[in-house]
Chains A and B, each alone.
Chain A
Amino acid sequence: MSTIDMAGGSPERNPIARLWYDKETRSVILQILTIILLLTFFGYIIANAIENLRLLGKTFSFTFLFEPASYDINQHLIDYSSTSTHLRAGIVGILNTLLVAVCGIILATILGFIMGVLRLSPNWLVNRLIYCIIEFVRNVPVLLHILLVHGIIVHTLPQPRGLPDWANWGDTFFLTNRGLFMPSPEFGGAFWLVWIAFFAAIGFSIWFKKYAKKIQDDTGRILPVFWTSVGAIIGLPLVAYFITGMPLSWEIPTLGKFNLKGGMTIRPEFMALWLALSIYTACFIAEIVRAGILSVSKGQWEASQALGASRGLTLKNVIIPQALRVIVPPLTSQYLNITKNSSLAIAIGYMDIVATIGGISLMQTGKEMETMIIVLLFYLTVSLLISAFMNWYNKRIKLVER
């Protein structure tokens, strides 16, 4: 009797211990404890924040966004002056961030794919050279790349005054330490028709692709989809351009005594940030591309050739779709990295969201919490959007197993 009690007894006697030894109940207890701890923690820090704000005589509100910012931003895609509001300064910053991110993504992808393919080249000299470049660039902080490129642009490129001939390309493009000056387009009255033609051509290409697929499914005849689309997308806007009487003129920068006037400028900060981010990320992309191509087994090439497909058709329909399945997920996270790394702009004075709202607006208004919340929310939104897109794309190209 007593032995039986001893064996299963001790937990049964104590109801609390019995609850603890039940797996389900224990997990509920642990979770309730977690919630309580979490709520206490947040309650504590929020109470602290309220108390601190009260002691400093500050309030928590976003009304400062509608007050004049009274600072200048040297690169703005929309109208901005120092009398504009903090909100507008923030939008200018967001646009600058997105601009450098998009430009960086495009250049990094192109460079990365080229380097990834060259890295696989049978040519020993080429693939060793690319390997050395990739290893060197990858193992050095991106901030250092940005500062280095900025330093090179600012310190070694010529000044506008007494510009040497090699930096003056046909009196239309000028490369100086104040940026790359180039002609800016001026759209005439009827130019919107060209845009309409452009979008119509894209719509036509999409329709034509579907139509060609239907024809191929029904009759087996293959229509030249690629060249038709290219012809439409280039041809239609050109036709519209000439019909409307060429409503596009270029404003060419002129070399003054001390500086250049007119035209468009790519500022040195933008150039440094763009080039440094692109080169740095391209090296990561190159390794991703290399891994993707290597992941497609040789048998796929052979099988496709055995079916009589040409090399181009094999690449397009067999190899690239399979390689993309490996390449795309890490590629998207590299795109995310470019966007996040563009926040390093503040180190060289490029006015992105961190430098406008999180930098100067914060200093001027003393609203640390509000400004930082805006910046954090912006990056979180971008990240979540890109991850959502990535998940959607992943699902679309996932292997369909039968």
Chain B
Amino acid sequence: MTTQDQAVQSYAPGEHPDLPAPMLTSGPLFWIKENLFSSWLNVVLTVLTMLLLWAVIPPLLSWAFVDSVFTAADRNECRELGSGACWAFISERFTFFIYAFYPAGERWRVNLAFILMILALVPLLYDKTPYRKYGLIYACFFPVLAYWLLLGGFGLKEVETHTFGGVMLNLVIGVTGIACSLPIGILLALGRQSNMPVVRMLCVVFIEFFRGVPLITILFVASTMLSYFLPPGSEFDLLLRVLIMVTLFSAAYMAEVVRGGLQAIPKGQYEASDSMGLKYWQSMRLIVLPQALKISIPGIVNTFIGLFKDTTLVLIIGLLDLLGLGRSALADSKWNGLSTEIYMSVAIFFFICCFGMSRYSLYLERKLETGHAR
């Protein structure tokens, strides 16, 4: 009777406080049961993965951090100090990997160009930047500025392009390629959709040619064969040739990505803009391309990522980018047998750049999502 009384008296109808859910239907235990041990197959998979991780992660951590050596004079000293990775080599060569053979007294120009590039990228990439309009105007002038800073002239000491190398060379090729390949790619895609047969054929042949051959062969063409097609006696900078070829190569891929976007635009949009009396370029600029480019963002960024990764291929024709410098550093007799350390560092650099780009593309997609996707 007393218990009944208490129960009745303690809570008015409907005011009984919520009891916590049973242990196994919510909370961490539930999560573990549901996500790791939901069936026998899952139990096996979980145990196997745990074993794998246990076998790989601790040795890897001890190799990379615990037993590794960060400062040493050469490989032998490294071996004496620790059994793990020998990062001392990387730290010794760090500035060399970034600037390569760029004259030491002029390296502030590279730094300045890099800072200016970041300043140009912020208004381009982030639409809530204060004074974005001026930022965009500045971004248009940045290439000229960067060209002047890196190569010199007009009061600065001139620097030849064969001194370019390392991270700097990857960035130069990557940024130039990215900036130039998008507009060319869009033009090619529009040309491929054009109703003028000659223009269409021209674009198709161009696109299919560049997509059909590997970048390596195109770079070989640039380094060996291209000079034949120029007027006799004319000299043409190797870096410039590479830049042109890399740009054209990724423009062809870009064109296909943009074409996919163009084809996804319903025909009604073209007809509507025609009936508004817009001319071809107006209707493309105002109606079709904004929608087409929006859907092709993932593909466009993937092409950018591919282009940036492909900048490493220049090492095969003798330009020393970051990977090329790393590979040639292996020949240093003071530090032999360190290929894993070097390649891992280079891999981490590329991973950070490319993963950042793919994250940004996800952000952009979410921002431009207008909610009426079909």
A interface residues (Cβ-Cβ under 8 A, vs B): 27, 30-31, 34-35, 38, 45, 48-49, 51-53, 55, 121-126, 129, 135-136, 138-144, 147-148, 151-152, 155-156, 340-341, 343-344, 346-347, 354, 358, 362, 368-369, 372, 375-376, 379-380, 383-384
Given contacts A125-B46, A368-B228, A372-B225, A141 and B323 within 8 Å (CB-CB) = yes
Give the residues in chain B near A124, CB-CB below 8 Å. 35-36
Tell me whether B347 is interfacial, beta carbon within 8 Å.
yes
A-B CB proximity, top 10 nearest: A151-B339, A383-B212, A124-B35, A139-B354, A340-B214, A141-B309, A31-B198, A45-B229, A343-B214, A148-B343
Interchain CB contact under 8 A, A27 and B195 = yes
Interchain CB contact under 8 A, B202 and A34 = yes
Given contacts A31-B199, A139-B350, A358-B217, A372 and B224 within 8 Å (CB-CB) = yes
**Cβ of B248 to closest chain A Cβ, rounded Å:** 14
Interchain CB contact under 8 A, A49 and B229 = yes
Q: B210-239: contact bitstring with A at CB < 8 Å (1 yes, 0 no)?
A: 011111110011001101111110000000
Interchain CB contact under 8 A, B199 and A148 = no
Tell me whether B29 is interfacial, beta carbon within 8 Å.
no
Nearest chain A residue, comparing its CB with the CB of B213:
A379
Question: What is the CA–CA distance of A299 and B330 in the complex, to the nearest angstrom?
Answer: 57
Tell me whether B313 is interfacial, beta carbon within 8 Å.
yes
Question: What is the CA–CA distance of A52 and B46 in the complex, to the nearest angstrom?
Answer: 67
Most buried by A among B50, B196, B216: B216
- Which range contains the number of B residues in contact with the other chain? 35 or more
Known: A139-B350, A143-B323. 13 other contacts (CB 8 A): A27-B196, A48-B228, A53-B228, A121-B45, A122-B38, A123-B36, A129-B53, A141-B310, A344-B216, A354-B216, A376-B221, A379-B214, A380-B212
Could you list 14 examples of A-B contacts with CB < 8 Å? A123-B35, A123-B45, A125-B46, A126-B46, A139-B355, A143-B323, A148-B340, A343-B214, A343-B216, A354-B216, A368-B225, A372-B220, A372-B221, A379-B212
Tell me whether B287 is interfacial, beta carbon within 8 Å.
no
Question: What is the CA–CA distance of A250 and B181 in the complex, to the nearest angstrom?
Answer: 55
Give the residues in chain B near A53, CB-CB below 8 Å. 228
**Cβ of B196 to closest chain A Cβ, rounded Å:** 5
Tell me whether B254 is interfacial, beta carbon within 8 Å.
no
Nearest chain A residue, comparing its CB with the CB of B49:
A125
Choose one: B198, B215, B228; the contact of A369 (CB below 8 Å): B228
Give the residues in chain B near A144, CB-CB below 8 Å. 312, 323, 343, 346-347, 350
Give the residues in chain A near B227, CB-CB below 8 Å. 52
Nearest chain A residue, comparing its CB with the CB of B351:
A139
Interchain CB contact under 8 A, A147 and B343 = yes
Give the residues in chain A near B53, CB-CB below 8 Å. 129
Choose one: B49, B208, B211, B221; the contact of A126 (CB below 8 Å): B49
Question: What is the CA–CA distance of A344 and B323 in the complex, to the nearest angstrom?
Answer: 14
Tell me whether B85 is interfacial, beta carbon within 8 Å.
no
Tell me whether B327 is interfacial, beta carbon within 8 Å.
yes
Choose one: A143, A152, A372; the contact of B217 (CB below 8 Å): A372
Tell me whether B42 is interfacial, beta carbon within 8 Å.
yes
Interchain CB contact under 8 A, A49 and B313 = no
Give the residues in chain A near B344, CB-CB below 8 Å. 148
Nearest chain B residue, comparing its CB with the CB of A375:
B217
Tell me whether B305 is interfacial, beta carbon within 8 Å.
yes
Most buried by B among A125, A135, A344: A125
Question: What is the CA–CA distance of A383 and B227 in the complex, to the nearest angstrom?
Answer: 27
Given contacts A129-B49, A144-B323, A31 and B196 within 8 Å (CB-CB) = yes
Tell me whether B358 is interfacial, beta carbon within 8 Å.
yes
Give the residues in chain B near A139, CB-CB below 8 Å. 305, 309, 350-351, 354-355, 358
Interchain CB contact under 8 A, B232 and A48 = yes
**Cβ of B115 to closest chain A Cβ, rounded Å:** 25
Nearest chain A residue, comparing its CB with the CB of B50:
A125
Interchain CB contact under 8 A, A141 and B312 = yes
Choose one: A38, A49, A136, A152; the contact of B202 (CB below 8 Å): A38
Nearest chain A residue, comparing its CB with the CB of B343:
A148
Tell me whether B315 is interfacial, beta carbon within 8 Å.
yes
Give the residues in chain A near B312, CB-CB below 8 Å. 141, 143-144
Nearest chain A residue, comparing its CB with the CB of B346:
A144
